[in-house]
Structure 1
Amino acid sequence: MMGRPPSDNPKSLKIEIRADQETISTLDAAAKKLNMTRSDIVRKGIEKIYDDLQ
């Protein structure tokens, strides 16, 4: 049976946030403009904040 190959970095952990409609709309607009998923945008944001702290 063929399927997706195993990932080198599986995304098995989940986080949940509370957000207002404006934040979700902003997230969706950024995701659409950059052709990325919501999760990709959030991961990028976390990386950027972390890098800024270094």
Structure 2
Amino acid sequence: MSQKKIGRPPSPDSKHTMFRVRLDDESVKLLDECAEKLQTSRSEVVRKGIKRIHDDLH
């Protein structure tokens, strides 16, 4: 009898790399303010920041 996998299948754009970073209190405060204002997660703010800096460099 074959085992049936339970759960949602991974989406094509799934985020599989975890990146930890140390932040000072001021950076955490700024990150939280941005996330709240944009109504999104801290992770999404970081991803948008990386994309914006990358775009500015090119």
TM-score by length of 2: 0.82
Partner of residue 14, structure 2: 10
Q: Which runs of 4+ in 1 moved over 2 A?
A: 1-6
1:6 shift after superposition? 2.5
TM-score by length of 1: 0.87
1:5 shift after superposition? 4.5
State the number of aligned residues.
54
Distance 2:50 2:23 in 1: 16
Note the residue ranges of structure 2 that are not aligned, 5 or more in a row. none
CA RMSD between the two structures: 1.5
